[in-house]
Amino acid sequence: MDTTRTAFGVRAAPVDEMSIPHILVVDDSPEDVRPILLAIKAQGWRISLAHDARQGLQRALVLDPDLILLDVQMPHMNGFTFCRLLRESDETRATPVIFLTSAGSLEQRLEGLKTGGVDYVLKPYEPLEVLARMRIHMQLQHRDTVESGESVVAANSDDELLLRAAVRYISQNLRDLPSLQEIARSVGTHDKRLSKLFREHIGVTVFAYIREIRLRKSQELLSDGNMSVQDISDWLGFGSACNFTTAFRRDVGMTPSQFRQQAKGK
């Protein structure tokens, strides 16, 4: 049997490097992650580092790590935006992301899970606990991959990732959408670039797209549910039932009530 020698003696057999877990750590504060880096190295796992989210996203797409440890508050792009973009790539959408951060408000914790994180650990942390959580999520991911039998190989441009992330963000926040600038910031770009992407790839402005999605969703709710017109208006962020009715009539050619009656065959 072939053996390999380490600083601590002889290891029984060489290990296929690709079978060793590969962890990407994205954090702009090296001292904060030093304890977990030492703990990961002690496991013999591979580590890649990134000191900001943009660099981390590039490395995630290229290296395809088994798990990502991610800070929230970083310059240029925060961890939530990173995670949104990560979830829009075919290569990384299933990669487990554990937030390891001092951003501990309830709103921030919920945002981390909403954007695709599988776990949320606050600093200061216990390295052994983080390791245990990492093992659990890598085991779960391995089981899901084996059961599904999926092997996705695809290339996504930056424009595609931004557009997908923006479309998903809009869909998830129809009720209370922020400004165009804030939508753009949430997916890691600026309003002019986002507007250009929508015009080039979808053929409409961002606001026209939002209006179309709201009206399309309203038709689904009117056809399949029993929500009142007022509730649908509130839920989709039209501001008032009057605004909703006016927009709906202009686009569909009838009032929401008339559409519901027709959809249900009355």
Q: Where are the chain's structural domains?
A: 4-148, 158-263
What's 121's DSSP letter? E
Rounded Cα distance between 165 and 86, Å, is 9
- The pLDDT, as a whole number, for residue 144 is 59
pLDDT of residue 145: 56
Topology (CATH level 3) of domain 158-263:
Arc Repressor Mutant, subunit A (1.10.10)
Q: Which residue has the tokens 């914790």?
A: 109
pLDDT digits (tens, 9 = 90+) for 208-264: 889 888 888 888 888 877 889 999 988 888 888 898 899 888 888 889 998 888 877
Q: Is-above-0.95 flag for pTM?
A: no
Equal fold, 4-148 vs 158-263: no
Instruction: Report pLDDT for 143.
Output: 64
10-27 burial: b if 16+ Cβ within 10 Å, else e:
eeeeeeeeeeebebbbbb
CA atoms within 13 A on the CB side of 66: 22
| pLDDT at site 237 | 87
Which residues in the chain land under pLDDT 70?
A: 1-18, 143-156, 266
Bridge partners for 11 per DSSP: 4
| Whether the bond into 124 is cis, omega within 30 of 0 | yes
How deeply is 4 buried, as exposed, middle or buried, from its count of CB atoms within 10 A (0-12, 13-18, 19+)?
Answer: exposed
- Domain 4-148 CATH class label: alpha beta
